[in-house]
Structure 1
Amino acid sequence: MWMNDEFFARVGHDLRGELATMLAGVHYLLRYQKDLGAAPRDMLERVRGAGERLKRLLDEFDNSIWLRADASRPMTIARCDAVELVRRAAVHLEGAAAARGVRISFEGEPDGGTTLEGDPELLRVALEYVLGFAVLRSRDRPVRIRVSSAGGGPVVTVIDEAGPVPPEPLARLLEPFGERAAIPADPVAPRRRERLGLGLAIAHGILDAHGGGLTVEPSSERRDGGSAASDAGLSASGLCFTCTLGGVGGDAHPRLA
């Protein structure tokens, strides 16, 4: 056994169990230990925050099985709606967006054509990694989401205004760890990591498994309206991610929920 799905499942399960025990003790002390001084309480809050971040990193580790294509990997197939998937992803990121002063906005929901057959939870995870990356880049700036319908199925577009990414790191952005070069360091805790650096690559793998895909390109669009970065004389003000959700049939290795 080497780096297959079972490897990730076993390692993730064992690490998660120890982390849950640690966090349970921290939560207990913060809730019931009424005589805690300001300094011990502050330290426990920091430990709790680190534990919550570690939980998210472990989720990313678990999901990294999607870095490797495997047509036999089971998925729980169901009918789902792209607009609802995007809203669920945004709800998961509300805390992170609020902490960075990021406002997530939705533009022009289509009247139809946004349903597909796929694994709703996996698709939500893929969209959350893309949207979460934009939020991490966009302190005190907006992030916009559009849902549309194209020949290949529903398409979700995520646009940020967090500044350009040089051509070389942009070309590697969807590769494992490629996103690290495009995420600015936390001004309060520069060594703190919110992601392992695999999220965009995982999203690419999940969408590809659904017959869709993920692309990224520079964008000069702004919230007040603007043209595409490809227009002459315009420089990129951010990134535009295009998530084609695709869709799979009920015979694509379904797993009963």
Structure 2
Amino acid sequence: MIRVLLVEDNPGDARLIQELLRELPAQPYEITHVATLGEALALVADRDVALLDLTLPDAAGLASVERTCAAARALPIVVLTGNADERVAIEALNAGAQDYLRKGEITATLLDKAMRYAIERKRMIALEVAQQHLEQTIAHARFIAAVTSAATSSLEAEPCIRAVAPLLVPTLADGCAIDLFRDGKAERIASAGEFGDGAARLDTRLIARGRTVGGIALTMGSSGRRFGDEERLIAEEITVRLALSIDNAMHYAEAQRALRGRDEMMAIVSHDLRNPLAVVQLSLSALATDPASLAVVLPRATRAVERMGVLIEDLLQIGQIDAGTLVIEPRPVELDSLLDDVLEQHRVLGAGKGVRVQREPSLPLGSVMLDPNRLTQALGNLLGNAIKFTPADGTITLAATSTSSGVEISVSDTGPGISTDQVARIFDRFWQADRRRRDGVGLGLPIAKGIVDAHGGRLDVRSEL
């Protein structure tokens, strides 16, 4: 049964149409008659087709069609008009109706054909819309899949970005540029198409784990297009996927650096433990063959064991610093006294190399809250490093000055200095400016920095060649 909504204010015309429909074999139509558009709009949701008069008490002309379409977009409409001018009927079709009939020419067969045609045409339009939507969905899925494939095409961030940029043009925009944020600055990695000051621009941030890692800028130029809701949604989806890819690439790079650091550490530690261990082994062999040599080999073996103990303790401290578990026990300490003690401990070491270790005079520094053992170790590492690289007849100066925010302590020397590239790596684990030297494993300065950081301070390096 086809449910028909007849919207006709003329009782005679309404009666005629109902009688014509009853003439049809099998009575295929269930008819509901209303005289106003207001009544009709309340019923359109559960009807299969509408016969709509263009002249009603509460609406006239195309307004009747437009309001009915707005209330029920899926409802097929056949317009009833007493006007012989076909332009009115064509305007009604353009407004959303599927067919029209002139009242003076209506027959039962014509009514039946018009309504069935309207229903079929509406169904075909719906199928076409669904097909277009499906094609758009498939195209969207393919586009997103291509972008995702490009974004994951490499374990490094930059190749992924360069692979993504050309795909965004012209599907999403006329031009695009993608930046990476490094050290708080944006670095342009890739651009494509007509990127520039176009008629429209869309900027999105690449955010991963709550951190901004880059940005995508899209522009429209010669095409005259604008960014709509669909383009914005696609841009957001691409942004999420590319940000995740960049974040994964960064984590991969960090993991690779950690693996290289581990391998380097194992090589260095193995080397630096092997030497003193060999000394101990040789000393034991000497004792086994000549017990009388104890007085000679015992000090040598003791020094070797002490070297191994220092290395192991340094490794433990670096592990604590990395894990954030380094224990600091601050208490009031007379800083002048602590600095004098550290100076005296290293003055003899410096003299053995022909290097003068001195303290710059200053006003009394008073009592400071700090861990004396940890700070002594940090200053000892800094002075020891300076002694190691300062040539004979050089000078090392320990200085301290009270500031508005605390105390500034410095260790300066007259050594050769290091380059800017080396300054950037000076606190890296196991790194040494001169790898030919083997009087240490490169943990002294990282430990010193970890101790200062744990006190809430800052350790900086300045060098002149």
For Structure 1 versus Structure 2, the TM-score category normalised by the shorter chain is 0.5 to 0.7
CA drift of 1:75 comes to: 2.5
The one-letter code sitting in structure 2 at the alignment partner of 1:118 is L
Note if contact 1:60-1:196 (Cα within 8 Å) is conserved in structure 2: no
Partner of 2:382: 130
Note if contact 2:381-2:445 (Cα within 8 Å) is conserved in structure 1: yes
Q: Residues 84 and 183 (structure 1 numbering): CA distance in 2 closer, same or farther, change over 3 Å? A: farther
Higher mean C-alpha displacement, 74-83 vs 100-109: 74-83
Equivalent of residue 91 in structure 1, options 344, 353, 358: 344
Report the Cα distance in structure 1 between the residues aligned to 2:309 and 2:349, rounded to whole angstroms: 15
Report the Cα distance in structure 2 between the residues aligned to 1:129 and 1:183, rounded to whole angstroms: 18
Report the Cα distance in structure 1 between the residues aligned to 2:443 and 2:434, rounded to whole angstroms: 13
Report the Cα distance in structure 2 between the residues aligned to 1:135 and 1:163, rounded to whole angstroms: 12
Higher mean C-alpha displacement, 52-61 vs 196-205: 52-61
Note if contact 1:137-1:184 (Cα within 8 Å) is conserved in structure 2: no
The one-letter code sitting in structure 2 at the alignment partner of 1:131 is L
Note if contact 1:69-1:209 (Cα within 8 Å) is conserved in structure 2: no
Note if contact 1:204-1:213 (Cα within 8 Å) is conserved in structure 2: yes
The one-letter code sitting in structure 2 at the alignment partner of 1:65 is G
Partner of 1:212: 457
Note if contact 2:326-2:454 (Cα within 8 Å) is conserved in structure 1: no
Partner of 2:427: 174
Which is greater in Rg? 2
Note if contact 2:419-2:463 (Cα within 8 Å) is conserved in structure 1: no
Note if contact 2:359-2:398 (Cα within 8 Å) is conserved in structure 1: yes
Partner of 2:301: 47
Secondary structure of the residue that 1:216 maps to in structure 2? coil
Partner of 1:240: none
Partner of 1:60: 314
CA drift of 1:121 comes to: 0.8
Equivalent of residue 373 in structure 2, options 98, 121, 125: 121
CA drift of 1:116 comes to: 1.6
Q: Residues 102 and 59 (structure 1 numbering): CA distance in 2 closer, same or farther, change over 3 Å? A: farther
Note if contact 1:82-1:154 (Cα within 8 Å) is conserved in structure 2: no
Equivalent of residue 196 in structure 1, options 431, 441, 447: 441
Structure 1, residues 97-148: CA drift from partner, whole Å, max 9, x if none?
A: 2332222101112223x53212111111111111111111114121111111
Secondary structure of the residue that 2:459 maps to in structure 1? strand
The one-letter code sitting in structure 2 at the alignment partner of 1:84 is S
CA drift of 1:77 comes to: 2.0
Report the Cα distance in structure 2 between the residues aligned to 1:65 and 1:161, rounded to whole angstroms: 32
Report the Cα distance in structure 1 between the residues aligned to 2:435 and 2:349, rounded to whole angstroms: 14
Identify the structure with the greater strand proportion: 2
Partner of 2:413: 160
Structure 1, residues 162-217: CA drift from partner, whole Å, max 9, x if none?
A: 10212211211022123x115773xxxxxxx3322111111111111111110001
Q: Residues 55 and 87 (structure 1 numbering): CA distance in 2 closer, same or farther, change over 3 Å? A: farther
Report the Cα distance in structure 2 between the residues aligned to 1:86 and 1:183, rounded to whole angstroms: 31
Report the Cα distance in structure 2 between the residues aligned to 1:50 and 1:60, rounded to whole angstroms: 16
CA drift of 1:50 comes to: 2.8
Structure 1, residues 55-74: CA drift from partner, whole Å, max 9, x if none?
A: 3323322322353262x654
Report the Cα distance in structure 1 between the residues aligned to 2:347 and 2:452, rounded to whole angstroms: 23
Note if contact 1:89-1:127 (Cα within 8 Å) is conserved in structure 2: yes
Secondary structure of the residue that 1:217 maps to in structure 2? coil
Secondary structure of the residue that 1:206 maps to in structure 2? helix
Secondary structure of the residue that 2:416 maps to in structure 1? coil
TM-score where L is the length of structure 2? 0.35
The one-letter code sitting in structure 2 at the alignment partner of 1:137 is F
Partner of 2:404: 151
Structure 1, residues 29-56: CA drift from partner, whole Å, max 9, x if none?
A: 9xxx8x649xx83x55543443333333
Report the Cα distance in structure 1 between the residues aligned to 2:412 and 2:403, rounded to whole angstroms: 18
TM-score where L is the length of structure 1? 0.60
Secondary structure of the residue that 2:340 maps to in structure 1? helix
Secondary structure of the residue that 1:215 maps to in structure 2? coil
The structure showing larger relative contact order (alpha-carbon pairs under 8 Å, at least 6 residues apart) is 1
- Could you tell me which runs of 5 or more consecutive residues in structure 1 were left unpaired when the two chains were aligned: 1-14, 186-192, 220-235, 237-257
Report percent identity of matched pairs: 27
Partner of 1:76: 329
Q: Residues 132 and 203 (structure 1 numbering): CA distance in 2 closer, same or farther, change over 3 Å? A: same
Note if contact 1:57-1:194 (Cα within 8 Å) is conserved in structure 2: no
Report the Cα distance in structure 1 between the residues aligned to 2:300 and 2:348, rounded to whole angstroms: 16
Report the Cα distance in structure 1 between the residues aligned to 2:340 and 2:317, rounded to whole angstroms: 21
Report the Cα distance in structure 1 between the residues aligned to 2:320 and 2:460, rounded to whole angstroms: 17
Q: Residues 155 and 122 (structure 1 numbering): CA distance in 2 closer, same or farther, change over 3 Å? A: same
Q: Residues 205 and 80 (structure 1 numbering): CA distance in 2 closer, same or farther, change over 3 Å? A: same
Report the Cα distance in structure 2 between the residues aligned to 1:184 and 1:87, rounded to whole angstroms: 33
Q: Residues 95 and 116 (structure 1 numbering): CA distance in 2 closer, same or farther, change over 3 Å? A: same
Identify the structure with the greater helix proportion: 2
